[in-house]
Amino acid sequence: MSLTVYGTELNSRLLLGTSLYPSPKIMLDAIAASQCEVVTVSLRRESSTEKSGNAFWSLIRSANVRVLPNTAGCHSVKEAVTTAHMARELFDTPWVKLEVIGEDDTLQPDVFGLVEATRILIEDGFEVFPYTTDDLVVADRLLSAGCEVLMPWGAPIGSGRGLNNRYALTSMRAHFPDVPLIVDAGLGLPSHAADAMELGYDAILLNTAVAKAGDPVAMARAFAMGIEAGHLAHQSQPMPKRDMAAPSTPVFGTPFRD
Amino acid sequence: MKIRINGQETLVKCHTLSELLVELDHEPTSVATAVNQTFIPRHQRQEHQLCDNDIVDIIAPMSGG
């Protein structure tokens, strides 16, 4: 079953970043192997001599995927809002992965700035994908501001730790049963992605775990399979946990017992 | 006129933002622009007059996570 975000139907539940790959070809091969339909992109100052931006944009267009521009590196509402406007003009999409970073060691979102920037951008016609924490109150504010999707972190960006706080992520899923929830950042292994999907998350956004793998193309495929497996497992309604053993072989008629 | 372009102090001859892009040999549709941290859309560049000490950011697509 597909996922719908801001009225757009997505068949893949993996959104993939475009940074840190060993080469442009490997990036394109990883995108193809992942079968993702959305990739994240960014903006940086353009040198008047190198002009690398156009070459990168041509490369992404050749992959025939949707783009989700981010506001990575922004530490204030003003920076994030200005970057979002520039991204909308360059990439011709109302989508923006909104990041307002509040702390440099963990790259933790500044959730106060995030909510403020979200309000401004949604008012201006943007479709905001907020990179947020697993805080339920912040999530509620973001939804009130008009977000139709939430992207809580699994762990700090690039850490590869997996789900740092399963309890909080489980609560978030239970609290917002009808909101598309995408775990964004901090995953390192396909099992981490499967874990999130088994909790009922709708999709996964990741970059470093694929790009920095020894074989990014194989890892992209592995993540796609892990995400599909986790999603299917959630749909299949897993058995309840028990504290004690319960024999799977019928005990009736067991030989040598009176 | 002395302005700061992408963090570098630069002397320029132009008066408007669109003239600046020409002077720096940028393809106008390949970049986005901000002056003093305020976004200046493509259609406003021609009328946007630059002033001494303005801070100009010229931005292009790049990879991101």
CA distance B46 to chain A (A): 16
Q: Any alpha helices (H) in chain B, and if so which ranges?
A: 17-23
d(CA A128, CA A142): 9
B61 and A90 within 8 Å at the Cβ level: the answer is yes
Show the CA angle centred on residue A115, arms to residues A111 and A119, nearest 5°: 165
Which residue of B lies nearest to A78 if distances are taken between CA atoms? Answer: B37
Number of helices (H), then strands (E), in chain A: 9, 12
The pLDDT of residue A253: 87
* Chain A residues touching residue B37 (CB < 8 angstroms): 78-79, 82
What is the DSSP code string of A108-152?
EE-HHHHHHHHHHHHHTT-EEEEEE-S-HHHHHHHHHHT-S-BEE
User: The complex's ipTM?
Assistant: 0.95
Q: Is the dihedral of CA A131, A9, B60, B42 positive or negative?
A: negative
Which helix (H) or strand (E) is A42 found in, with range? strand A38-45
Assigned fold of B2-59: Ubiquitin-like (UB roll) (3.10.20)
Hey, where are the domains in chain B? 2-59
Neighbouring residues of A54: CB distance < 8 A, sequence distance ≥ 6 = B27, B30, B60, B61
Active site residue A241: no
The pLDDT of residue A51: 81
What would the two tokens of residue A14 be? 């993996």
The pLDDT of residue B30: 94
Q: Is the dihedral of CA A28, A90, B2, A79 positive or negative?
A: negative
Marked catalytic residue, from A51, A97, A212, A241:
A97
3-state SS class at A28: helix
Angle formed by the axes of helices A190-198 and A216-235, to 10°?
A: 20
Q: What is the pLDDT of residues A15-67, one digit of tens each?
A: 999 999 999 999 999 999 999 999 999 999 998 788 888 899 999 999 999 99
The pLDDT of residue A258 is above 80: no
CA distance A253 to chain B (A): 59
Q: What is the pLDDT of residues A135-160, one digit of tens each?
A: 999 999 999 999 999 999 999 999 99
Number of helices (H), then strands (E), in chain B: 1, 5
Q: Which residue shows structure tokens 């990014």? A: A216
The pLDDT of residue A167: 98
Q: What is the pLDDT of residues B28-46, one digit of tens each?
A: 999 999 999 999 999 999 9
